[in-house]
Chains A and B, each alone.
Chain A
Amino acid sequence: MYSTYLYDLKISDFISSCNNFIIDFSITDTGCDITLQRRDILPEAIAYELAKKQKEISVAEFFERNKHILGFGNPTRALITSVKEGVDNALDACEESGILPDVFIQLKNISEEECVIIVEDNGPGIIKQQIPHVFARLLYGSRFHAVRQSRGQQGIGISAVVLYGQLTTGKHAKIISKIQENQPAVLVELAIDTNKNRGEVQHQEILHWDKPSGTRIEVCLKADYKRGKRFVYEYLQSTSIVNPHARLVYKEADGTEHVFERTTDILPKKSEEIKPHPYGVELGTLIKMSKETNARKLASFLKHEFSSMGDRTANAVCDEAKLDRNLNPADMSREQFLALYQAFKRVKIMTPPTECLSPIGETLIRRSLKSETQEISPEFIFTASRPASVYSGNPFQVEVGIVYGGNLPKDKPVKILRFANRIPLLFQQGDCAVTTAIASIDWRRYGLDQPSGTGVPIGPAIFLTHVASTQIPYTSESKEAIADVEEIENEIKLAFREVARKVQMHINKKVRRVKTREKFDLITKILPEIAKKSAHMLNKPVPSLEKVITRIMDVVWIEDVVEYEKVRGKPVQTKLNVTDTKAQTDSGGWIAKSTIMVVNYKGKPQKFNLYALFPKNAVVGEVKPKPTKVTDTYIKWSLDSINPTKKIDLFFELAGLNKGDFDENDLYVQNINPTYVIGADKWEGE
């Protein structure tokens, strides 16, 4: 019942005394609506009785009754969702302002059922007036309708946490914000008025805070700390893997602190907002857009309000729909819009631009995984990144990684790490498109166990998947699993097939090397001994072994080694003040030095081309001998003829990488029978 019911009763008392009328009233944002209907004119329909009882409820009330949809279904989930929203907020805020995020998360266990969650960041802070709107108002945000990749979109996030805390403990959220170094911070105690969907400042004060700027939220809520804390750790560890630019510090209730250091100082590329793509627009939205546009002609409406619509495509669509290009969108009928909508599907429209996406990138994924799995000492880590694709007009991109071997358990199912828009998905693994895609690949040929070739494989591996999109299709509102959209599932499968091929090539290379290493031992250790002994017994000189060696080995042997050297860069002056030493920064980094040894153990001289691949973001330094060609992904040498038992050494340097990003050369040969070669594969072209 409304809180203002009593007040209105006086009016209604009066009015309903005239039994001729049916009274209907409701409270809105702006005031009060009263409708009267004459009872004698209208029939006594039950619908009217029922109509009296209908009312609108606020979003906050909706939340109260449907907590599970938003991720607060049980005390364990509530804990994780609250941490998640806080951390998401913090990361978003820092990234928007170009600040490398330093996020501090603390949990306190007040009692059996109550926890305090604190999330603090070094972001730009929030101005005092906006605090109630950001933290205590559901469905309020700056990112609606923007077609770009972002962590959260509905604007329910952090406000839901504040509301949940209030509902379950009666306590209010405390927010501290500081927006400028030379200004004090402001502390606000906040409550949500669930009827009005409004924040209410309960208490406010100024205080001193040591940070230059930032935001800190403290919420007390009913949560299961005991059950939830390991999920929180998992969540934060996963988050740090896909946000290598962020530094997270997590302090548990007993004081234990975990630090997840950043592995790069470069902020991720900001995703640019793009216009919606025709394939992704519903008919109703199309009509709505036509009412909001400034364009007066249909063709220009298409070109300006949609992505991937140039002159030619816009004209083609108009023609296909049999509509005049100069039609004013505001004058069009529903049937015409329907024709337009259907025309979209029939005309070939280019895929949308991908500036709206912000993928992590193979190098950083690898680096993150390497740093997080150090204790496991994995045998190898491989990554693969698909080009951007589209489903229903929404751009998306899949990146995957596999960590293999080391101390990972051999007889358990592989661990699957799922990420969507840089957020870890911890639950409902079975319902997720990622799992479906992985389970449908036959992993037995890649060395993992998998009864009947379907299902999650068993073996010592971690599979990481990141899907970035402007619109991730989740299976439910709690955003735990990605829906089985065919295009997305396909891309995930292709990505894993790519990385599995890399795994297989690596294993094959290893096996071949072991076999040839045996032969190597033979010719370097045993054969000389045989020669010595027989010569000694017969009192004759030791015979030369060169020819026999090539007959036994019969290969071109290629071996490589990568070493890292730290380079101290020249000091860079950031200020004109020469005496200010603080301004000088050390821009040193690592140089990767690759040495490749090629030995000809075949009976005849060999002449061929050698290619060495390297990561895209590396810069090539010195190369010896002079290469024939250098692109941004490989170096090519056209080698001179090598005589039997002779060897040549090749050398090159790479800059711009972290130590360990690149530790094995990826080598290819051309103009030689690839079965002759150990240590390099056949060059298939770019």
Chain B
Amino acid sequence: MPRDYSGVISKIDSIAAKVYADLEQAEIPALQLSTRTKANIRFDDDLNVWKYGKNKTERAASSLDGAYMLLRTMYLVDFIKDMIKEKKSSTLRETYYISEGWNLAKFASQNESDLLAEDLEVITGCMREDFKLRPEEDGARVIGNLVVEEMTRNNTKKKIHCQDDVGDAGYGIPYNVEKEKLTFKQVDADFIVAIETGGMFDRLVENGFDTDSRAILVHLKGQPARSTRRFIKRLNEEKKLPVLVFTDCDPWSFRIFGSIAYGAIKTAHISEYLATPAAQYLGVTPSDIENYKLPTDTLTSEDIAALKSELDDPRFQDQFWKHEIKLQLSLGKKSEQQALAKYGLDYVTDTYLPEKLVEMGMLKK
């Protein structure tokens, strides 16, 4: 169904209006937005997710860099208005290339245009999709006893069974997983397992874990895309399925869990759309390394710095995480989830996962 973008347009216009008003009043034009750092996130009790706090950053035309930023902002919002009018959309990368024609307002790098798009989300409270901007990121793969209905490019509806209708690669999550695009028809499963590495995902598929244990397997492909996180959230809330996150044992993987369960720092303004507060961390934990005597690598100095940073991260302040992170620092070691193969290819599905699931109350002994 055609969407109503008038709200988006008025929000965009208000940005231009602010700049214009500043100039009219002989003020140096400036835009304010929430500071997007670890120091400025706070837990919102109502929404049960982490959002931005009160600190603001200002982009003002008093310095050369600030002036360039404001100019690019003007050009970008004008471009978004055009896209809405002409019912077109563009990827972030295309936007970066389009800026080549903006003379002084040209983006110096893709990163700059990505960040500016996020800035606009934060200022307006809209999402990128509202601006008709699409990311490059891949959505994750899904295998499990789940039927989804997708609105295709030809404007027809298509039902897809995520075991019978897909190959070994599974169902690929599209970039837009809103209700107008994707709905969940039927599901027959007990829980969702979100898996970090492709290798482990394939291992569980090969071992038939989805059918044997009645699980929906989602391959995150590393740091999960927004669409993946949104998918998981919707599935959890609409179909009441618990979410278990299964990653490597290192600080970067802990952050992957953080972005699923708590919301990422970069997208804290829209945490309520993307975060699944009910998600739980399954493994691999530093305690697992000890208990299962897994093969390990030594922590690098970057790893140690990241772990220490997480001790300060407001999202990781509960008992469980504090204990595990301190344990890992004292062990000085990290481990991959695929290290479970030490005990054989079936160990993960025969022993490790069942033991962990019982521990977490998902399975009965």
Contact = CB atoms under 8 A, between A and B. Distances in A.
Interface of A: 518-519, 521-522, 525-527, 529-531, 533-538, 540, 543, 545, 547-548, 551-552
B71 A540 contact: no
B71 A533 contact: yes
Given A526-B61, A537-B74, A552-B61, A543 B20 contact: yes
Nearest to B18: A534
Contact of B61 (A527, A535, A538): A527
A530 B62 CA distance: 13
A516 to B, nearest CB: 11
Given A551-B28, A552-B28, A526 B71 contact: yes
B26 A547 contact: yes
Query: Which of A522, A530, A551, A552 lies at the interface centre, i.e. has the most chain B CB atoms within 10 A of its CB?
Result: A530
A537 B77 contact: yes
Nearest to B60: A552
Contact of A548 (B26, B75, B105): B26
Interface in B1-57: 13, 16-17, 19-20, 23-24, 26-29
A537 B81 contact: yes
B329 interface: no
B355 interface: no
Contacts of A529: 71, 74, 103-105
B67 interface: yes
B321 interface: no
8 shortest interchain CB distances as A-B pairs: A547-B26, A533-B74, A534-B20, A543-B23, A537-B16, A526-B67, A534-B16, A518-B64
A109 to B, nearest CB: 62
B85 to A, nearest CB: 12
B80 to A, nearest CB: 11
Contacts of B64: 518-519, 521-522, 526
A545 B24 CA distance: 8
B215 interface: no
Interface string B91-123: 000000000000111000000000000000000
Interface residues of B, number: 27
A537 B75 CA distance: 10
Nearest to B27: A548
Interface string B243-264: 0000000000000000000000
Nearest to B24: A543
A525 B70 CA distance: 13
B316 interface: no
Contacts of A519: 64
B67 A534 contact: no
Contacts of B61: 522, 526-527, 530, 552
Nearest to A515: B64
Most A C-beta atoms less than 10 A away, residue of B62, B67, B104? B67
A525 B75 CA distance: 15
A684 to B, nearest CB: 32
B165 interface: no
B142 to A, nearest CB: 42
A522 to B, nearest CB: 5
B16 to A, nearest CB: 4
Interface of B: 13, 16-17, 19-20, 23-24, 26-29, 61-64, 67-68, 70-71, 74-75, 77-78, 81, 103-105
A18 to B, nearest CB: 108
B23 A538 contact: no
A545 B17 CA distance: 16
Contacts of B27: 548, 551
Contact of A538 (B17, B62, B68, B104): B17
Contacts of A547: 26
Nearest to A519: B64
Given A526-B67, A534-B23, 14 more contacts: A519-B64, A522-B61, A522-B67, A526-B68, A527-B67, A529-B74, A530-B61, A530-B70, A534-B16, A535-B20, A545-B23, A547-B26, A548-B26, A548-B27
Given A519-B64, A543-B20, A545-B23, A533 B75 contact: yes
A548 B20 CA distance: 12
Nearest to A550: B26
B290 to A, nearest CB: 54
A156 B77 CA distance: 87
Given A521-B64, A552-B62, A530 B26 contact: no
Contact of B19 (A521, A522, A534): A534
A99 B196 CA distance: 93
Nearest to B75: A533
Contacts of B77: 537
A543 B17 CA distance: 12
A537 B78 contact: yes
Given A551-B28, A552-B61, A552-B62, A525 B16 contact: no
22 contacts: A518-B64, A522-B61, A522-B67, A526-B64, A527-B67, A529-B71, A529-B104, A530-B70, A530-B71, A530-B74, A533-B16, A533-B71, A534-B17, A534-B23, A534-B74, A536-B78, A537-B16, A538-B17, A538-B20, A548-B23, A551-B28, A552-B62
A327 B61 CA distance: 87
A565 B202 CA distance: 82
A403 B64 CA distance: 34
Contacts of B63: 522
A195 B290 CA distance: 106
A521 B61 CA distance: 12
Contacts of B62: 552
A534 B71 CA distance: 9
A530 B29 contact: yes
A179 to B, nearest CB: 72
Nearest to A535: B20
A530 B16 CA distance: 9
B67 A530 contact: yes
Contacts of A540: 20
A540 B19 CA distance: 12
Contacts of A531: 20, 23
A521 B67 CA distance: 10
Contacts of B26: 547-548, 551
A530 B28 contact: no
Nearest to B77: A537
A340 B213 CA distance: 121
A552 B104 CA distance: 19
